[in-house]
């Protein structure tokens, strides 16, 4: 059938009512107006896309914005602000009321927007990892994004795929799907391509249909798509299952706790201020304030003090820095799927990595073919490309039999291209591609040979079995050289069927009772077994991936499609050794892990000798390292495994279920584990690990769905880079917590002390405090959140995940800097107050603005002029914080050793903040708003000089840390 030139108006009819599972294959494809061999034409697919819309589930389960708003407003710190607003309202303080309410509103709006954007960003990240689908269009198989699928498309499904839309099977090769997401049934269901008679079947019983969102766990199949997007069964129930996952990170949760502590702290100090104020009133009485407004004044002070404790900018800064961190990780090829991973990465102590493709390049090339004692080096053959029409001659025909068998038990696709210095390209599994390419160089082209060896059955490769078998009808003669032809005749003449098997040599030896020895079939003796094992060990020791190859002539096909019977008692042919070079950047990444206190563990299905050779080469283990193999692990109790898991860094010949036990044991002994995985069966281990890492290129869709992070280049070095970013994020969060809370402490000291001195009013108003906490502290804090990794980021141990954020000298820093800040501002303020220093625009001020005279000018008529002291406190507190921010660029190193331009944001933030702050002193608008007064240049300079004290104190603290006098250990 041509690609539907006569497609009906609505090719799918009323798809909701069509019982596809009751129809025969022919009527299905007829109804869908598609030729399964050709697929849809591009034009028709485009038309149908217009008609049916993209294959997408529309998210209706998003969080209700009112709920988000409610959560924002009931945050403890917002409650403090609301309380402060209420008091201001009662006391008629309109400016304060407006300011506080603006902050509450801005915070709430920002909170809602941020939550919404975070949700969008995560969706976008997830869709970057969304699966591609292999679809047949215009007669060719190609990969398209799954949202472009339309009803009538013919897709190829294989183990590991997440089914992208609903469809009817038109071919099934042992396909099994796991449909728990729809039916709750966790056992995989075997799928067939035949029609079902009963027209009243539930989803779980429609064994010739596959459904969107279910997983192919075994085999492969060809599917005609019957419904896409919201018309799929998943789409119909999507609104029911879309649950809200708030994805708070551990740090965000801990920040919530910090918020609660700050809430109690602010309420307590406000009460304390009330008590101090009341006691003062009792003793000093109205001498200070006069009768009127005395209580109001005390209340207002309490409000200012409560507000001073609340770090208004903190929640926004944490969210922004996590979001930016996720972006930075993406730039380094690590795509975060679950936000908590961003910071857990900084705590990883063990990275368990697959070997193939992650530590190695997954660029496989056959190097050696070893046939019963004869070894052939294929390197020269594999290095050159061949002009069209030419192929190489085999040095020995035995090699040819190996290559025929290896190419038939093989799912890769070989194509002649003749471009970019290539003769053939191979698609599919690299191990299989390597063998098919070697065969092609000798003129044994896979698809041509498949006309002779017609595949009728198979047992697919699985990591558990570590081998695959295909069963064929023999139909004619293989197009090959005469010599090879004769050799093949010797093997295949007079037989109608044959099974080919390739896999891990130990597994192949287990199923063979005979050997192909120079053209003769002989019994497999212990001597042969020993010879094969020795040859295998020799190749593995060179770091080669070794596969055994076997065949079995069959008189008849196995009954009931029991294909695995076909491989029993096979004839062993030989071994192929495949090179898969280690990735060049991995060696350095492994070395970095060593200095960073992260242990690298290799977990592979490959042979222990191959695994160890590569692990040694990469610096993961030394010569005498212990290797644990899957079989031994199987025998061990969990208790025994926990005992060895700290010492073993190479696990070989393991199956996915062993990975799960390894992760559990590592976690039991207190490790924070990142684990890579690519197969369907790796999903449980990925979920169990603290950070499940899936591979973007070679990973199955199922593994990606289970993972916390997807590595876009499949490269181990990227995991290490991501963990460095994780540490940097945590460093930055600590940086601005230090910064913001020290400032609050300084303000609190100033306020509480002045509240305790009867003769002095509070130097800072509620408005000024809000301004400082939000603007002059908030802007530099944001810039500190993007500081680059510190020099020692990967030269120290990982952050213990549950350690309090205040460990490692953070609490100490807050107290010291808070004290220096508070005492400096206060000391200067009190001196100015007592000295009666007057502001530059004081009515009775007589000196020039340029005068260094700090004031203390008597007013002629005995009035007190406008005093400068509280403006000086305000400005000193804010300017000190600029130096503090700059010094905090490193927790440990002197800032003089850092390049000032590497955090330009901070430079801009500081310049802008200083400019804005100076304008609060000199612009009349701000004077009115904040009650500030212009300072003389002398006063301003004095504030500037005193503002350096905090910077000096922080640099001194760091010096003492570097000398070891002060500790900065977090563990």
* Residues recognised as catalytic: 354
Pick one of 502, 734, 735, 738: the residue that binds ligand ATP (CB under 6 A).
502
User: Shortest Cβ contact with ligand ATP: which residue?
Assistant: 605
What's the min distance (Å) between Cβ of 206 and ligand ATP? 31
Cα dihedral: 149, 150, 155, 158 (round 10) = 50
What's the min distance (Å) between Cβ of 369 and ligand ATP? 15
* Contact flag: residue 432 with ligand ATP (CB under 6 A): yes
Question: Contact 369/405 with Cβ under 8 angstroms?
Answer: no
Compare residues 716 and 736 and give the one whose CB is closer to ligand ATP. Answer: 716
What's the min distance (Å) between Cβ of 468 and ligand ATP? 5
Q: Which residues contact 803 (CB under 8 A, 6 or more apart)?
A: 970, 971
Question: Contact 937/777 with Cβ under 8 angstroms?
Answer: no
Compare residues 48 and 607 and give the one whose CB is closer to ligand ATP. Answer: 607
> What track of x and - describes contact with ligand ATP for positions 130 through 169 (by CB under 6 A)?
----------------------------------------
What's the min distance (Å) between Cβ of 472 and ligand ATP? 16
Q: Which residues contact 200 (CB under 8 A, 6 or more apart)?
A: none
Of 770, 763, 943, 769, the residue nearest 867 (C-alpha) = 763
Q: Which stretch binds ligand ATP (CB under 6 A): 116-124, 162-170, 351-359, 438-446?
A: 351-359
Pick one of 96, 297, 361, 429: the residue that binds ligand ATP (CB under 6 A).
429
Which whole-number Å values give the CA distances from 408 to 449, 453, 487, 506, 608, in the listed order? 8, 8, 17, 20, 27
Quickly count: other Cβ atoms within 10 Å of residue 947's Cβ: 24
Query: Looking at residue 897, what DSSP letter applies?
Result: G
Q: Which residues contact 41 (CB under 8 A, 6 or more apart)?
A: 3, 4, 137, 138
Question: Contact 469/566 with Cβ under 8 angstroms?
Answer: yes
Query: Looking at residue 162, what DSSP letter applies?
Result: B
Q: Which stretch binds ligand ATP (CB under 6 A): 83-91, 424-432, 486-494, 859-867?
A: 424-432
Question: Contact 218/174 with Cβ under 8 angstroms?
Answer: yes
Compare residues 29 and 434 and give the one whose CB is closer to ligand ATP. Answer: 434
Q: Which stretch binds ligand ATP (CB under 6 A): 352-360, 528-536, 699-707, 908-916?
A: 352-360
Q: Which stretch binds ligand ATP (CB under 6 A): 152-160, 460-468, 731-739, 877-885?
A: 460-468
Q: Which stretch binds ligand ATP (CB under 6 A): 95-103, 349-357, 490-498, 802-810?
A: 349-357
How far apart CA 149 and CA 146 sit, in angstroms, is 6
Pick one of 12, 77, 234, 504: the residue that binds ligand ATP (CB under 6 A).
504
* Contact flag: residue 734 with ligand ATP (CB under 6 A): no
Name the strand (E) or helix (H) holding 354.
strand 350-354
Compare residues 179 and 370 and give the one whose CB is closer to ligand ATP. Answer: 370
Task: Quote the tokens at residue 340.
Answer: 């908590």
Compare residues 346 and 357 and give the one whose CB is closer to ligand ATP. Answer: 357
What's the min distance (Å) between Cβ of 803 and ligand ATP? 33
Cα dihedral: 376, 380, 384, 386 (round 10) = -40
Compare residues 547 and 621 and give the one whose CB is closer to ligand ATP. Answer: 547
How far apart CA 933 and CA 465 sit, in angstroms, is 82
How far apart CA 56 and CA 38 sit, in angstroms, is 25
Q: Which residues contact 213 (CB under 8 A, 6 or more apart)?
A: 162, 163, 181, 182, 232, 234
Compare residues 297 and 429 and give the one whose CB is closer to ligand ATP. Answer: 429
Query: Looking at residue 350, what DSSP letter applies?
Result: E
How far apart CA 550 and CA 509 sit, in angstroms, is 9
> What track of x and - describes contact with ligand ATP for positions 586 through 625 (by CB under 6 A)?
------------------xxxx------------------
Compare residues 577 and 818 and give the one whose CB is closer to ligand ATP. Answer: 577
* Contact flag: residue 680 with ligand ATP (CB under 6 A): no
Find tokens 């709430």 and name the residue. Answer: 108
* Contact flag: residue 570 with ligand ATP (CB under 6 A): no
Secondary-structure percent of the chain, ordered helix, strand, coil, rounded to 5: 50, 15, 35
* Contact flag: residue 545 with ligand ATP (CB under 6 A): yes
* Contact flag: residue 467 with ligand ATP (CB under 6 A): yes
How far apart CA 223 and CA 225 sit, in angstroms, is 6
What's the min distance (Å) between Cβ of 651 and ligand ATP? 9
Pick one of 466, 583, 599, 727: the residue that binds ligand ATP (CB under 6 A).
466
Compare residues 576 and 748 and give the one whose CB is closer to ligand ATP. Answer: 576
Of 475, 478, 468, 466, the residue nearest 499 (C-alpha) = 468
Which whole-number Å values give the CA distances from 937 to 566, 642, 881, 921, in the listed order? 96, 70, 20, 11
Compare residues 84 and 434 and give the one whose CB is closer to ligand ATP. Answer: 434
* Contact flag: residue 927 with ligand ATP (CB under 6 A): no
What's the min distance (Å) between Cβ of 527 and ligand ATP? 23
Q: Which stretch binds ligand ATP (CB under 6 A): 93-101, 202-210, 428-436, 715-723?
A: 428-436
Pick one of 503, 574, 699, 808: the residue that binds ligand ATP (CB under 6 A).
503
What's the min distance (Å) between Cβ of 459 and ligand ATP? 11
Compare residues 112 and 675 and give the one whose CB is closer to ligand ATP. Answer: 675
Phi-psi group of 357: left, alpha or beta (phi > 0 → left; psi -120 to 50 → alpha; rest → beta): left
What's the min distance (Å) between Cβ of 592 and ligand ATP? 21
Compare residues 147 and 360 and give the one whose CB is closer to ligand ATP. Answer: 360
Pick one of 99, 262, 547, 685: the residue that binds ligand ATP (CB under 6 A).
547
* Contact flag: residue 543 with ligand ATP (CB under 6 A): no
How many chain residues bind ligand ATP (CB under 6 A)? Answer: 20
Pick one of 176, 254, 355, 472: the residue that binds ligand ATP (CB under 6 A).
355
What's the min distance (Å) between Cβ of 460 and ligand ATP? 9
* Contact flag: residue 461 with ligand ATP (CB under 6 A): yes
Compare residues 536 and 881 and give the one whose CB is closer to ligand ATP. Answer: 536
Pick one of 146, 356, 570, 754: the residue that binds ligand ATP (CB under 6 A).
356
* Contact flag: residue 463 with ligand ATP (CB under 6 A): yes
What's the min distance (Å) between Cβ of 324 and ligand ATP? 33
**Largest Cα–Cα distance in the chain?**
129
Question: Contact 265/309 with Cβ under 8 angstroms?
Answer: yes
Name the strand (E) or helix (H) holding 629.
strand 627-629
What's the min distance (Å) between Cβ of 365 and ligand ATP? 15
Compute and round to an integer the Cα radius of gyration of the chain: 37
Q: At what angle do helices 869-887 and 716-756 cross, to 10 degrees?
A: 160
How far apart CA 665 and CA 259 sit, in angstroms, is 35
Is residue 303 helix, strand or coil? helix
Q: Which residues pair with 739 in a beta bridge?
A: none
Cα dihedral: 935, 937, 938, 941 (round 10) = 100
Q: Which residues contact 14 (CB under 8 A, 6 or more apart)?
A: none
Is residue 364 helix, strand or coil? coil
* Contact flag: residue 682 with ligand ATP (CB under 6 A): no
What's the min distance (Å) between Cβ of 654 and ligand ATP? 7
Q: Which stretch binds ligand ATP (CB under 6 A): 235-243, 498-506, 625-633, 934-942?
A: 498-506
Interface residue list for ligand ATP (CB under 6 A): 354-356, 429, 431-432, 461, 463, 466-468, 502-504, 545, 547, 604-607
């Amino acid at each position: 059938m041509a690609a539907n030139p006569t497609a009906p108006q609505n090719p799918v009819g009323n798809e909701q009512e069509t019982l596809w599972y009751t129809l025969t294959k022919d009527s299905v494809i007829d109804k869908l107006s598609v030729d399964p061999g050709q697929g849809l034409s591009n034009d028709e697919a485009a038309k149908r896309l217009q008609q049916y819309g993209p294959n997408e589930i529309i998210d209706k389960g998003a969080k209700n914005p009112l709920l988000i708003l409610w959560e924002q407003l009931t945050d403890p710190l917002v409650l403090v602000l609301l309380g402060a607003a209420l008091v201001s309202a009662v006391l008629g303080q309109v400016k304060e009321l407006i300011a506080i309410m603006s902050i509450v509103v801005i915070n709430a709006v920002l909170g809602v927007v941020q939550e919404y954007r975070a949700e969008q960003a995560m969706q976008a990240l997830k869709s970057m990892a969304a699966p591609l689908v292999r679809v047949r269009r215009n007669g060719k198989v190609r990969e398209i994004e799954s949202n472009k699928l339309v009803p009538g498309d013919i897709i190829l499904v294989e183990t590991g795929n997440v089914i992208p839309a609903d469809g009817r099977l038109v071919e099934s090769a042992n396909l099994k799907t796991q449909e728990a997401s729809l039916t709750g049934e966790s056992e995989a269901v075997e799928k067939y391509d035949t029609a079902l008679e009963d027209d009243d079947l539930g989803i779980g019983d429609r064994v010739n249909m596959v459904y969107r969102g279910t997983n192919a766990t075994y085999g492969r199949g060809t599917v005609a798509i019957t419904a896409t997007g919201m018309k799929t069964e998943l789409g119909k129930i999507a609104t029911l299952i879309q649950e809200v996952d708030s994805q708070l990170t551990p740090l965000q949760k801990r920040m919530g706790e910090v918020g609660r502590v700050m809430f109690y702290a602010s309420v307590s100090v406000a009460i304390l201020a009330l008590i101090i104020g009341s006691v003062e009133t009792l003793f000093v009485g109205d001498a200070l304030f006069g009768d009127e407004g005395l209580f109001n004044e005390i209340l207002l002070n309490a409000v200012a003090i409560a507000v001073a404790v609340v770090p208004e900018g903190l929640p926004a800064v944490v969210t922004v820095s996590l979001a930016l961190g996720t972006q930075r990780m993406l730039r380094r090829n690590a795509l975060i799927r679950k936000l908590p991973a961003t910071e857990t990465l900084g705590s990883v102590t063990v990275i368990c990595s697959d070997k193939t493709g992650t530590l190695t390049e997954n660029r496989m090339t056959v190097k050696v073919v070893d046939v019963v004692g004869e070894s052939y080096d294929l390197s020269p053959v594999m290095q050159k490309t061949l002009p069209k029409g030419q192929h190489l001659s085999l040095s020995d025909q035995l090699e040819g039999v190996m290559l025929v068998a290896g190419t038939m038990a093989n799912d890769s696709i070989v194509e002649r291209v003749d471009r970019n210095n290539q003769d053939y390209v191979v698609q599919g599994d690299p191990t299989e591609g390597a063998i098919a390419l070697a065969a092609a160089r000798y003129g044994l082209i896979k698809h041509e040979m498949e006309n002779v060896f017609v595949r009728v059955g198979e047992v697919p490769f699985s990591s558990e079995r570590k081998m695959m078998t295909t069963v064929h009808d023999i139909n004619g003669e293989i197009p090959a050289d005469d010599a090879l032809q004769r050799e093949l005749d010797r093997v295949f003449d007079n037989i109608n069927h044959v099974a080919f098997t390739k896999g891990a040599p130990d597994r192949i030896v287990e199923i063979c009772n005979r050997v192909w020895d120079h053209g003769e079939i002989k019994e497999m003796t212990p001597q042969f077994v020993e010879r094969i094992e020795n040859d295998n060990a020799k190749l593995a020791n060179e770091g080669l991936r070794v596969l055994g190859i076997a065949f079995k002539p069959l008189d008849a096909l196995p009954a009931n499609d029991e294909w695995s019977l076909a491989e029993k008692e096979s004839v062993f042919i030989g071994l192929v050794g495949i090179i898969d070079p280690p990735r060049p950047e991995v060696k350095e990444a492994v070395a970095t892990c060593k200095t960073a206190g992260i242990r690298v563990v290799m977990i592979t299905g490959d042979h222990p000798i191959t695994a160890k050779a590569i692990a040694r080469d990469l610096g993961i283990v030394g010569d005498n390292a212990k290797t644990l193999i899957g079989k031994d692990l199987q025998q061990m109790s969990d208790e025994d495994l926990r005992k060895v898991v700290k010492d073993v860094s190479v696990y070989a010949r393991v199956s996915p279920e062993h990975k799960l036990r390894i992760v559990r044991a590592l976690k039991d002994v207190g490790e924070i584990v990142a684990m890579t995985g690519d197969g369907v069966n790796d999903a449980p281990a990925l979920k169990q690990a603290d950070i499940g890492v899936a591979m973007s290129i070679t990973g199955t869709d199922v593994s990606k769905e289970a993972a916390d992070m997807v590595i876009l280049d499949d490269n181990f070095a990227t995991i290490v880079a991501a963990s460095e970013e994780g540490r940097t994020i945590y460093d930055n969060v600590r940086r601005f917590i230090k910064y913001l809370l020290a400032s609050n402490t300084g303000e609190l000291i100033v306020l509480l002390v002045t509240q305790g001195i009867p003769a002095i009013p509070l130097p800072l108003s509620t408005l000024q405090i809000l301004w400082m906490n939000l603007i002059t502290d908030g802007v530099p804090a944001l810039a500190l959140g993007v500081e680059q990794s510190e020099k020692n980021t990967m030269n120290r141990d990982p952050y213990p995940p549950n350690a309090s954020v205040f460990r490692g000298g953070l609490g100490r820093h807050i107290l010291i800097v808070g004290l220096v800040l508070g005492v400096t501002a206060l000391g200067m303020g009190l001196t100015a107050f007592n000295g009666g220093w007057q502001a530059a625009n004081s009515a009775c001020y007589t000196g020039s603005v340029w005068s260094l005279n700090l004031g203390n000018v008597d007013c002629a008529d005995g009035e007190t002029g406008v005093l400068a002291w509280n403006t000086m406190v305000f400005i000193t507190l804010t300017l000190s914080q600029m130096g503090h921010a700059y010094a905090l660029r490193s927790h440990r190193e002197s800032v003089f050793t850092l390049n000032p331009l590497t955090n330009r944001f901070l430079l801009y933030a500081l310049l802008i903040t200083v400019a804005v702050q100076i304008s609060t002193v000199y612009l009349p608008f701000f004077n009115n708003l904040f009650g500030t007064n212009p300072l003389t240049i002398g006063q301003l300079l004095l504030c500037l000089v005193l503002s350096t004290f905090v910077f000096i104190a922080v640099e001194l603290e760091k010096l003492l840390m570097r000398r070891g006098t002060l500790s900065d250990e977090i563990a």
